[in-house]
Structure 1
Amino acid sequence: MRAFIGIGMQTEIIEKIYEFQSMLREYTVEGKWTNKENFHITLKFLGEIQPEIVPQIEEAVKKATKGIKPFYLRFSEVGFFKGNKNIRVLWLGTEESKPLNVLHANIEDELYKIGFPKEERKFTSHITIARDIKLKIGIEEANKLFSQIEKKDIPVKEISLYESAVIEGKRKYIPVFTVPLK
C-alpha cells in the first residue's frame, strides 16, 4: 500500500481551507484541486509499503511521539513548489513550531531505525490545496485573498498512518492507525 504519516484536520479547519480554495478557483486558469476530505500535513511520506510492516511503523511512531504534548499550529501564508511551466503544488503553510519540528525529527529518526531513508529536503509544514495549477494572479495577491479568511489555530492532538488509495476514481486518504499525543 502507498502510505504516509500525517496530521489530519478537524472539520472547522477543513471548512476554512475549503472557503479559501473556493475563492481562489475564480483566479485559476487550470489545475487539480485537493478534495477537502484529503487536507492534511504530511510528516513523512513512506511510499509503497507492505502491510506486514505496519506494526513496526506503529511502534516507531509511538516512540517518536513519546513526551510530546498536544499543541497548536498557526497558518502563515500561501506558498508553492515550482513545476516546469506551472505551480506543481500550491499550499497553505504553517508558522515555525518547535513541537512540530521535534515531532518531525523524532519520526525521521525512529523510521530510519526500521529501514526508511531520511528525507534530504528541508521539512516545510504545509497543507496542499492544489496541484499542477496556473493562476491568473501572483502569490502576493493569493496571500491578500488568504488574509480575508478568518483563521483558526490547527490543533495537533494525534498523528496517523494513512493509506493513499484510489477508490471509485478518487484519491482517498484512509487512516490505518492513529497515535494520540499525551
Structure 2
Amino acid sequence: MRTFITFDFDLKTKQQIANIQRIIKDNSNKGRFKYYNNFHLTLQFLGETDLSTVNEIYDQLLKAAKSFSKVKVFLQGIDAFVSGNNIRTIYLKVHGELEKIKNIAEKVFLITNKFGFKKDNKFIPHVTIAQDVDLNISFDELKEKVKGIKIDNIVFDKIIIMKSEEIEGKRIYTPLKILYLK
C-alpha cells in the first residue's frame, strides 16, 4: 500500500485552503487541483509499504514522539515548484514554528531511514494545492491576489501515518496510525 507520514488539518482549515485554491482555479486554464479533504503537510513520503513495516515505524515513532510537542503555524502566500517554464506544484507557504516542524521531520526521517526509506529532496514545509497548472495570468499576479489571505491559529497536535489509494478515480487518504503530541 502507498503511505506517507503527515500533519493533517481540521475541516475549517481545509475549507479556508479550498477558498485560496478557488482563486487559483479561477485564474487557470487547467491543472490538477487537490480534493479539499486531502490537504495536509507531508513529513515523509514512504511510497509502497506493507502493514508490518507501518507497525514497526509506528512503534519507533511512538518512542520518539515523547519529545514532540504541538506545533503552531499559519498559512500565508503561495509559491511554486517549477520545472523549466512549467509550474509543477503550487503550494501554500507555512509560517510559525518551522524549526519544530523541521526537527520532527528529521526525526521521522531518521526512523524511516532504518527501514530503507530515503528523503525525497530538501524538506520544505508546504501544503500542495494544485499541480501541473496552466495559468491565464502571470504567477506574480496570482501571488498578489492571495498574499493578504492568512489562515491562522493552526495547531498540529498529531502525526498520522496515512494510506493513499485511488478509488473510482479519486485519491483517498485513510489514517492508519495516529500519534498524539503533547
Short-chain TM bin: over 0.9
Structure 1 residues 80 and 150: alpha-carbon distance in aligned structure 2, compared to 1, 3 A threshold: closer
> 2:165 aligns to what?
165
Q: CA deviation at 1:68?
A: 1.4
- Asked if the contact 1:64/1:103 (under 8 Å) is kept, the reply is no
Q: CA deviation at 1:87?
A: 1.0
Structure 1 residues 150 and 120: alpha-carbon distance in aligned structure 2, compared to 1, 3 A threshold: closer
> Which stretches of structure 1, 4 residues or longer, exceed 4 Å deviation after superposition?
none
Q: CA deviation at 1:84?
A: 4.9
Indicate the SS of the match to 1:121. coil
Indicate the SS of the match to 1:165. strand
- 2:67 equivalent to 1:82: no
- Asked if the contact 1:6/1:41 (under 8 Å) is kept, the reply is yes
Structure 1 counterpart of 2:42, one-letter code: T
| CA distance, structure 1, for counterparts of residue 30 and residue 93 of structure 2 | 22
- 2:113 equivalent to 1:112: yes
1:50-129 correspondence to structure 2 within 5 Å: 50-95=50-95, 97-117=98-118, 119=119, 121-129=121-129
| CA distance, structure 2, for counterparts of residue 178 and residue 75 of structure 1 | 23
Count the aligned residue pairs: 181
- Asked if the contact 1:3/1:164 (under 8 Å) is kept, the reply is yes
| CA distance, structure 2, for counterparts of residue 65 and residue 77 of structure 1 | 30
> 2:14 aligns to what?
14
CA RMSD of aligned residues (A): 1.6
Instruction: Please identify, of 127-136 and 73-82, the stretch whose mean Cα deviation from structure 2 is larger.
Output: 73-82
Q: TM-score, normalised by structure 1?
A: 0.92
- Asked if the contact 1:16/1:150 (under 8 Å) is kept, the reply is no
Structure 1 residues 120 and 132: alpha-carbon distance in aligned structure 2, compared to 1, 3 A threshold: closer
- Asked if the contact 1:89/1:130 (under 8 Å) is kept, the reply is yes
Q: CA deviation at 1:129?
A: 0.6
- Asked if the contact 1:93/1:124 (under 8 Å) is kept, the reply is no
Structure 2 counterpart of 1:63, one-letter code: K
> 1:153 aligns to what?
153
Q: TM-score, normalised by structure 2?
A: 0.92
Q: Percent identity?
A: 29
Structure 2 counterpart of 1:156, one-letter code: F
- Asked if the contact 2:76/2:148 (under 8 Å) is kept, the reply is no
Q: CA deviation at 1:14?
A: 0.6
Indicate the SS of the match to 1:153. strand
Instruction: Please identify, of 138-147 and 95-104, the stretch whose mean Cα deviation from structure 2 is larger.
Output: 138-147
> 1:143 aligns to what?
143
**Deviation by residue 1:37-69 (Cα, 9 ceiling, x = unmatched):** 000011000010112212101112223322111
1:27-66 correspondence to structure 2 within 5 Å: 27-66=27-66
| CA distance, structure 2, for counterparts of residue 157 and residue 98 of structure 1 | 16
Point out the structure with the larger strand share: 2
